[in-house]
Amino acid sequence: MNEVNTKPEYLHNNMPPLLEAVLNPDGVGGTELMGRAWQDIVLPAAPDLADWHWCVIPGDNVISPDNSNIVWLHPHHTEDGLENLMDPQFLKYFKAFVFVSDWQYERFMERFKMPSERCYVLKNAIHPFEPHKKPTDKLQLVFHPNPIRGLDILLEAIKLIPEEDFELHIFHELDPDERKKQYQQGLQTYEYSHVHPQEEQFLRYCLKLANEDKRVVRHTRTNNSKVREQLMNTHIFAYPTYFLETSCICMIEALAAGCSVLTSNLGALPETGMGFSRHYGFITDRKKHIERFTRELKRTIVEYRSGKFDSKQQIEVINKKYNWNTRVEDWVQFSKELWRKN
């Protein structure tokens, strides 16, 4: 029997302090991708950032006893474990707080009354996509975020439009047993190590729906390069989320790859889409949400097939605005601002 690898080469989530984290250059999660790009692109351009003690939330962090801490916040304002941000005695240990969207910044200000003079917004970034042409045969849809953020709504919706011929590619492992097996084999992701009974029930429900629809193509959890390859062949990113996204790497990459994006209007999604994504009003009632999303998805499919969707400007703007070559300049200015206030 092969020895189980208990010390993976890469940490995929809940990573240690940013400067010490060993991150996969071809990661599987948005926070991981941002962290590795920060190490590879931002630090060489702004080496003074290494003088500070960096923490990433979500993450396994040790707070420095002085005020040299900088925290890079990815969660939304109502997630668990953020209560310390309400304590002024805790906040005094931090030099700065970095947010990934204006929406996230505003919500944290409202809930925690944080010191705005120490708060900054530095938006996420991606590596741009090369020019490419979409396939002209079968329509391809994709869902590659965490399944617990809306996959059930999507799978229920496509049941209501059986007449539509397409492929829906799902890039996440839906089989809880396979997740446990992969975790034992060394895929040490946070999601795979914490499969709670309620989540396992949800995954088995989605697995059943996916297996019952011949249009669904299941992929296991895979690295970003494989997802990006699929996005170049994808026509529609369908994301009926009920999660408060503070940004969305999945959405940014789909837009940059020229996909038509359909999602709800929750959180920072409208801000992230920059006017190029299609949003519908989120409904808390699950049945009505499914019905509304089904209508919007049908409309999006018809629009794409009729040739009314034009991605030319979208591709140009998104690949420029969310390019790491653009974002690194924001980080350089942030570094200068830190020393100016020191």
Cα separation of 98 and 105, whole Å? 9
pLDDT at 214 over 70: yes
The answer to whether residues 196 and 18 touch, using CB atoms and an 8 Å cutoff, is no
How far is CA 314 from each of CA 134, 230, 300, rounded to the nearest angstrom?
15, 18, 16
Query: 176 with 65, same domain?
Result: no
Asked whether residue 286 falls in the same domain as residue 154, the answer is yes
* pLDDT at residue 217, rounded to an integer: 98
Residue 191: its pLDDT value, please?
A: 63
How far apart are alpha carbons 186 and 108 in whole angstroms?
Answer: 36
Rounded to an integer, what distance in angstroms lies between the CA atom of residue 123 and that of residue 98? 9
Residue 256 lies in a domain: yes
254, amino acid identity? A
Under the banding of pLDDT at 50, 70 and 90, the label for residue 341 is low
Residues 34 and 170 in one domain: no
Domain enclosing residue 40, as ranges: 30-125+323-340
Q: Regarding beta strands 53-57 and 216-219, do their DSSP bridges make them parallel or antiparallel, or are they unpaired? A: unpaired
Helix (H) or strand (E) holding 97: strand 94-99
Tokens 């900088």 identify what position? 70
334 and 313 together in one domain: no
Whether residue 96 sits in one domain with residue 149: no
Residue range 40-68: mean pLDDT, rounded = 89
Residues 178 and 111 in one domain: no
Q: Report how far residue 103's alpha carbon sits from residue 124's, in angstroms, rounded to the nearest whole number.
A: 13
Q: How confident is the model at residue 195 (pLDDT cuts 50, 70, 90)?
A: confident
Cβ contact 197:254 at 8 Å? no
Half-sphere exposure of residue 292: CA atoms within 13 angstroms, side-chain side: 18
Number of domains into which the chain is organized: 2
**Inside any domain, residue 19:** no
**Is 2 part of any domain?**
no
Alpha-carbon distance 72 to 75, whole Å? 10
User: Following CA atoms 107, 108, 110, 114 in sequence, which dihedral angle do they give, to the nearest 10 degrees?
Assistant: -160
Length of the chain: 342
For residue 5, being part of any structural domain is answered with: no
Residues 94 and 202 grouped into a single domain: no
Asked if residue 148 belongs to a domain, the reply is yes
87 shares its domain with 172:
no
Same domain, 223 and 268: yes
- Copy the structure tokens of residue 297: 């998805």
Residues 62 and 77 in one domain: yes
Residues 166 and 295 in one domain: yes
pTM: 0.91
Q: Is 70 helix (H, G, I), strand (E, B) or coil?
A: strand
Shared domain for 117 and 165, answered yes or no, is no
How far apart CA 52 and CA 19 sit, in angstroms, is 9
Tens-place pLDDT, residues 233-265: 999 999 999 999 999 999 999 999 999 999 999
What sections of 39-185 are H helices per DSSP?
43-45, 88-91, 102-112, 151-159, 176-184
The string of pLDDT tens digits covering residues 266-296 is 999 999 999 999 999 999 999 999 999 999 9
The verdict on residue 6 lying in a domain is: no
- Return the CATH number at 251: 3.40.50.2000
Residue 61 lies in a domain: yes
For 105-133, write each residue's pLDDT tens digit. Answer: 999 999 999 999 999 999 999 999 999 99
| Residue 11 placed within a domain | no
